Amino acid sequence: MRKLKNSELIRKSVTDFKQAPKTPMILILDDVRSLNNIGSIFRAADAFLIEKIFLCGITACPPHKDIHKTALGATESVDWEYQKEAKETVKQLQLQGVKVYAIEQAKQALSLEYFEVIKEDKYAFVLGNEVKGVSQFTVDQCDGVIEIPQEGTKHSLNISIATGIVLWDFYQKFKKP
């Protein structure tokens, strides 16, 4: 088996990405501190053709060299917008008919494997601060909470890893015939 060269990979240009039909998914980053995590999330969002990222609170915005280092140009392809408050972003999206879920550990959280994607709906997922998670005010505003099941000694995942898991899970459920 031979690895493919970059020149052999069929990749969209930024223009093609902008014009392509998007996966009906939005990310809301609630007070994310790490610029490297933000860049990694942009890169994962690009991979799965997501619609938009909202950067809220203390979450840094492009352009920034540390975001660029891990995003590798995805800040140019993925639409993004800064909003001061994640909970207000949640309210605005809900008024547009978007179903909003916090990715968090909470009582009565739905385990990710049981989350069902309805193809006619649009979704947003809120991911939170590396230490404190999604703020309780924002969790209270959401339509529900989804938890990524974990069985090890640690009780959390890095936010960029958690985002990748959620994006892949949603994408494969959405694309399923």
The domains found in the chain, sorted by start residue, are 21-148+155-175 (3.40.1280.10)
Query: Within 10 Å of residue 166's Cβ, how many Cβ atoms?
Result: 23
Check whether 128 has a pLDDT greater than 90. Answer: yes
Q: pLDDT tens digit string along 88-98?
A: 999 999 999 99
For residue 162, give the nearest of 32, 23, 8 by alpha carbon. Answer: 32
Going by pLDDT thresholds of 50, 70 and 90, the confidence category of residue 167 is very high
> What is the average pLDDT across 146-155?
95
Give the bridge partners for 144, in sequence order: 101
16-58 pLDDT tens trace: 999 999 999 999 999 999 999 999 999 999 999 999 999 999 9
- The pLDDT, as a whole number, for residue 30 is 98
Q: What does the pLDDT read at residue 145?
A: 98
Q: What is the mean pLDDT of the chain?
A: 97
> Which residues neighbour 162 within 8 Å (Cβ) at sequence distance 6 or greater?
103, 127, 148
pLDDT given at position 173: 98
pTM of the model as a whole: 0.96
Confidence of residue 177 (pLDDT cuts 50, 70, 90): confident
Cα 86 from Cα 118, distance rounded (Å) = 24
